[in-house]
Structure 1
Amino acid sequence: MVVVGPNGVFIVEVKSFKGTLEGSVNDRKWVLHKVGREGGRYTKIIKNPLGQLKRNIAILSQYLKLERCSAWIDGVVLFPNDDTEWQDGVPEKCFCEAKGVAEHITCFEPRRPLTENLMGKLIASLEKCQEGSAMTLEEFTDKTQALQKRFA
């Protein structure tokens, strides 16, 4: 998801892992500890979603530069599944609730706030890229609350 507001452009990666996650911001791989349907325990090695987020920020930044409407891009990873736990605490830029993501976005202090005109250009460029991928903070909050209800 991409959120556009006066504070900037924000990519929100949504991951619906179920189990206990082990990993830090700088780890290339994380470990997901799960319990199967019949009680069997197993682990799965996954790529650090923050790495994917970083790549997506770079790709979006390049795209917006080509569209001549570049802006600061920040990003976070949302884990909306109530069955997601963290072995060593939630890493920076990761959130378990949409409310935390919304607070991060609204409290983010950009060097220069985006003008209404630039926000409109950004949203138009994003919609050109993929219809429905850009949204306002209010639309994001509604969508992620629905996601969290689905995983509750």
Structure 2
Amino acid sequence: MNDSDPNPPAFRLRVYLDTSVVSALHDARTPERLAQTIAFWARLPALDACTSALTLDEIADTPDASRRRDMERSAAEVRQFEVDTAMRGLAERYIRAQIFATTQRADALHVAAATLGRADVLVSWNFRHLVNRRRRALVNALNVSIGASSIDIISPPELQ
């Protein structure tokens, strides 16, 4: 592309969805969260939405077969990529740095997958382990120290 192109490609924010977002799309127990997730999902066509094989693995563990099928159909609407060795290695670095506990390995792997998958934003409903200022600061401090990109970790309604 040259600078004089009258129709440059539009920027699309790359957004990584963790399992909690796909799950919330099919969980009527919290009507406000469901409504916010549906509104977020409606904005996906304007985004470069992605998720990883980890999300698909976690969905596969959903005991309710009907809900699992609904979640699988929703996850199929976004680009999916495999979790690679570098992502697993970064997740282990987060754990060694005590950013995540060993019991939070999947959370660490979601962040690593989003980071190395070049997401601008990781979207989650997991406030305890992911969507909080302290965790975001620790993740980004480590990422910057190793030359990886920083990542914003937010809830669906925060993405306007």
- TM-score with structure 1 length normalisation? 0.28
Structure holding more helix per residue: 2
Structure holding more strand per residue: 1
Higher relative contact order (CA 8 A, sep 6+): 1
- TM-score with structure 2 length normalisation? 0.27
